[in-house]
Structure 1
Amino acid sequence: MNLRAAARALAALALVLLAGAAHAQQPAGAASRAGQAPEAHAEVAVGSKRFTESYLLGELVTQSLRRAGIAAEHRQGLGNTAILEQALSSGAVDVYPEYTGTITRELLKLEGAQAAVSLEQLNARLAPRGLKAAVPLGFNNTYALALREDDARRLGVASLSDLAALPPAQAGALRLGLSHEFLQRADGWPGLSRAYGLRMAPGAGLDHGLAYQALARKQVDVVDVYTTDAQIERLHLRVLRDDRNFFPRYDAVLLMRASLDERPLAAALQGRIDEAAMTAMNAQAEVDGRAFADVAREFLDRGSAAAASAPAGAPASPPGFMARLLAPDLGRLLLQHLAMVFGSVAMAVVVGVPLGVLAHRVKALSGLVLGAVGVLQTVPSLALLAFLIALVGTIGFVPALLALFVYALLPIVRNTHEGLAGVPQGLRLAGAALGLKPAQVLRSVELPLAAPVMLAGIKTAAVINVGTATVAAFVGAGGLGERIVTGLAINDHVQTLAGAVPAAALALVVEAVFALLQRGVRRGV
């Protein structure tokens, strides 16, 4: 097998996987409707943020739409407010659960008395963006700060003003474990610390789910919470009273594109979820380890009153590792992961090999080309994804594929350059003496001899991208990272391992496949 044959095989595999991934990302039931008459409603893309409650509300919206006969897909765990706002604007998402306080402070940048607006006033301000807030779900889930009950008693704090009044030594000794979004939001730490004169250092950001674990292990002392979080009661935390009313109301609503008909969702969900029901559902998912889809289905089947009382009995035993590992979504996630990896590597081969040849042939450009792809490799993955989302105007598979393509360039360009540099000059001269033109010498002499080194670069790019592709789940691209992101969101190590283990196994398989390809190429040289 020569390099050309290997490249053709890689490109063919990438095309097959890209087509398969596109099919795998269709919503449930779409394939079965092929060939039937068009539905009255187009498919609705439902988004959710990366925390337990948002996952659950996203599932409730998705299942409610399907029960109304509307095709719907849940694109879960899409990161923070900024990413979901862009997803709404681009049409990648049609609706997602949001809170009125977040809309006023984060999206509309309203402060103070301006932030206290009615739903009608809110929609008047959202209309120029092509958005609307509808379907009030029935509960208020505000931000708060919380600490362990024994620490609260020892320090004598019950409100945020009490926390601000602590002596400098006591305040300075408190370790804060605030979520990344809370650290940046206008209605988060920056505004809260100014409003109360809080003097503690905020420290590095923590994932919301991991912050509870750190609090239980006494690695941090104060965390930001949502008031319907299931972990508050479980960990015996004291939620500090917002006695200066800094936080606005965070009434749960559905933020959607203005063109979406909210009536089916209003009929199913409006006013049906109170604080007790939402806290109970959060507990079933986060404490009892039940699947988001199962909790949402039970709520819709039995009603809010029954759902609120569900956790009173003995908690259900969560599925074990093997059940999570071999769950029905494994095939879909694996196909999406492979499509991202081999699609990006095939693109990088098409671009990177010519760049490597250029760097070798034109010495003046060698440093520029190698330096440029080296700098691209240093860009943090989430930062690159955010930039590409803004560039292409959508979330999901496309920006993830482009990001992985960027990361695959360096090993391919560098190994192409080094492989060509390692070809003995005498063989080039021999080819020229036989009357071969420079392009023919490259094609018939240099590239075949450089093939083993070049293929090693392609292998490195593929193995690196297997791991990097897990980050793509933060922008709704799917893949095995979807399980990892979900596990982090609900602090479920088994769920995280159910995504990490197959990703690691896939990296080993890719390594072995490319080792066989390298062996074949060496035989053909």
Structure 2
Amino acid sequence: MNRKLIALLAMLVLLFPLLVACGNDDSAATAGTNATETDAAPPAETVAPEGTDTGGETDAAPTETVGGDTGAAPSGDKTFTVGSKNFTEQFVLAELYAQALEAKGYEVQRKTNLGSEQIADKALRSGQIDMYPEYTGTMLQAILKIEKVPESPEATFDLVKQRYAARKPSLTVLPSAPFDNNFGIVVRKEAADQYKLKTIADVEKNAKNLTFASYQEFEDRADARPNVEKNYPGFKNFKKTVLVDSLGLRYKSMQTGDADVGVGFLTDGQLASDDFVVMEDTKNIWPPYFPAPVVDAAWLKAHPDAEAVFNSVSEKLTAEVMRELNGAVDLEKEEANDVASDFLEEQGLK
């Protein structure tokens, strides 16, 4: 082997570790890059912890619902969420308006049995619902806190309509149904005959002998029991007051004799019975309570045709009609949606 070849081989032996080291540096760099990509959070869907809301059915407002501060819906969006408070007539009214809208091609969701007027009003203003039926007197005193009652039902309606439009978000009070569903102080007939009770003043004079069936909201609302006691002070002197939040159970407590006097509404189905006598309010202590659809103004502006649908239902509702519809639910144990459906079909609105 000549000297040149020996020298070349020796040089390769000396350079080999350096070449291997350079090759390993490149591989390490490549491996480092791949490891970084693998350890990064993947863009795939993640699994929420157990009990976390992942977008299924919830109590929150549906994404397609328009209300509150969310602005008007796209003109092609015909979705709507109707709410109600927590008693029979509200369930029936909500179904009447909801089904009438569905007959005109609207997709309607229900959030009924929300609770008191304060809860329903908050749901409407926050966009959880687009509408619920409310009574003019309740709007006036329980929501707007206006104590002085206007001179007529028409003046009351005009005032609450104006004030609701000025609220933020703006709310539209549509024309009310032509009946006054006021509070009713009701006495079982046996007690009315025994103590010769015809007016609230008569009840006041005999309160110490009587048991009163009330409910918590009536006890708390400024236009309810506090208003009665302000005008009929003897109303504080009942032998006993029992709280029965269920309307049906309040009437039942009077039928069984567990209570002598109760509070209801003038369109309660139970009042068709001869078992009860409504006491006359000779001092006219309550404002008018005409039911009206209260609708998110932005939604209604985007769906102007809906106003005629609401109005077509409201104009058919007299006190006699509502007492019959309420009675079908409370006394005959029919479902509110079935009662509403039958009525709308009879009236050609479905």
Answer yes or no: same fold by TM over 0.5.
yes
Is it true that 1:200 corresponds to 2:240 in the alignment?
Answer: no
Equivalent residue, structure 2, for 1:254: 293
Is it true that 1:65 corresponds to 2:65 in the alignment?
Answer: no
Gaps of 5+ in 2: 1-46, 64-73, 301-305
Q: For 2:129, what is the secondary structure of its paired residue?
A: coil
Mapping of residues 362-511 of structure 1, within 5 Å: none
Indicate the structure with greater strand content. Answer: 2
Equivalent residue, structure 1, for 2:175: 135
Query: Quick check: 1:101–1:248 contact (8 Å CA) kept in 2?
Result: yes
Query: Quick check: 1:115–1:248 contact (8 Å CA) kept in 2?
Result: no
Q: Identity of paired residues, percent?
A: 27
Equivalent residue, structure 1, for 2:337: 293
Q: Which has the higher contact order (CA 8 A, sep 6+)?
A: 2
Q: What amino acid sits opposite 1:302 in the alignment?
A: E
Q: What amino acid sits opposite 1:281 in the alignment?
A: L
Is it true that 1:215 corresponds to 2:254 in the alignment?
Answer: yes
- What CA distance in whole angstroms lies between the structure 1 residues aligned with 2:58 and 2:113? 19
Equivalent residue, structure 2, for 1:521: none
Query: Quick check: 1:45–1:93 contact (8 Å CA) kept in 2?
Result: yes
Query: Quick check: 1:65–1:264 contact (8 Å CA) kept in 2?
Result: no
Q: What amino acid sits opposite 2:317 in the alignment?
A: I
- What CA distance in whole angstroms lies between the structure 1 residues aligned with 2:124 and 2:179? 23
- What CA distance in whole angstroms lies between the structure 2 residues aligned with 1:145 and 1:59? 27
Q: What amino acid sits opposite 2:318 in the alignment?
A: D
Change (3 A) 1:186 1:12: closer
Q: What amino acid sits opposite 2:343 in the alignment?
A: F
Deviation at 1:301? 0.5
- What CA distance in whole angstroms lies between the structure 2 residues aligned with 1:63 and 1:72? 8
- What CA distance in whole angstroms lies between the structure 2 residues aligned with 1:137 and 1:284? 19
Change (3 A) 1:148 1:109: same
Is it true that 1:234 corresponds to 2:270 in the alignment?
Answer: no
Question: Deviation per CA, 1:57-101, whole angstroms, max 9, x where unpaired?
Answer: 000111111112122111111110110111111111111111111
Aligned pair partner of 2:163 in 117, 121, 125 = 125
Aligned pair partner of 1:159 in 195, 199, 219 = 199
Q: What amino acid sits opposite 2:267 in the alignment?
A: T
Mapping of residues 16-415 of structure 1, within 5 Å: 18-22=54-58, 40-114=76-150, 116=152, 117-129=155-167, 130-166=170-206, 171-197=207-233, 198-201=235-238, 203-207=241-245, 208-234=247-273, 236-261=275-300, 262-303=306-347
Deviation at 1:266? 3.3
Deviation at 1:39? 6.9
The total of aligned residue pairs comes to: 280
Q: What amino acid sits opposite 1:301 in the alignment?
A: E
Q: For 2:283, what is the secondary structure of its paired residue?
A: coil
Q: For 1:58, what is the secondary structure of its paired residue?
A: helix
Question: Deviation per CA, 1:133-192, whole angstroms, max 9, x where unpaired?
Answer: 1131222111010010111011011011122233xxxx2231111121111111100011
Q: What amino acid sits opposite 1:142 in the alignment?
A: N
Q: What amino acid sits opposite 1:143 in the alignment?
A: F
- What CA distance in whole angstroms lies between the structure 1 residues aligned with 2:282 and 2:341? 38
Q: For 2:231, what is the secondary structure of its paired residue?
A: helix
Q: What amino acid sits opposite 1:65 in the alignment?
A: L
- What CA distance in whole angstroms lies between the structure 1 residues aligned with 2:198 and 2:183? 16
Equivalent residue, structure 2, for 1:390: none
Q: For 2:184, what is the secondary structure of its paired residue?
A: strand
Question: Deviation per CA, 1:453-503, whole angstroms, max 9, x where unpaired?
Answer: xxxxxxxxxxxxxxxxxxxxxxxxxxxxxxxxxxxxxxxxxxxxxxxxxxx
Deviation at 1:277? 0.9
Deviation at 1:112? 3.4
Query: Quick check: 2:136–2:156 contact (8 Å CA) kept in 1?
Result: no
- What CA distance in whole angstroms lies between the structure 1 residues aligned with 2:271 and 2:51? 47
Q: For 1:21, what is the secondary structure of its paired residue?
A: coil
Gaps of 5+ in 1: 1-9, 28-37, 305-525
- What CA distance in whole angstroms lies between the structure 2 residues aligned with 1:92 and 1:178? 30
Q: What amino acid sits opposite 2:192 in the alignment?
A: A
- What CA distance in whole angstroms lies between the structure 1 residues aligned with 2:312 and 2:144? 28
Query: Quick check: 2:211–2:242 contact (8 Å CA) kept in 1?
Result: no
RMSD: 2.6
Query: Quick check: 2:181–2:289 contact (8 Å CA) kept in 1?
Result: yes
| Bigger CA radius of gyration | 2
Change (3 A) 1:115 1:19: farther
Change (3 A) 1:135 1:40: farther
- What CA distance in whole angstroms lies between the structure 2 residues aligned with 1:222 and 1:184? 18
Equivalent residue, structure 2, for 1:464: none
Deviation at 1:254? 1.0
Q: What amino acid sits opposite 1:224 in the alignment?
A: V
Q: Which runs of 4+ in 1 moved over 6 A?
A: 23-27
Equivalent residue, structure 1, for 2:14: none
TM-score between both structures, scaled by the size of structure 2? 0.73
TM-score between both structures, scaled by the size of structure 1? 0.50
Deviation at 1:121? 2.3
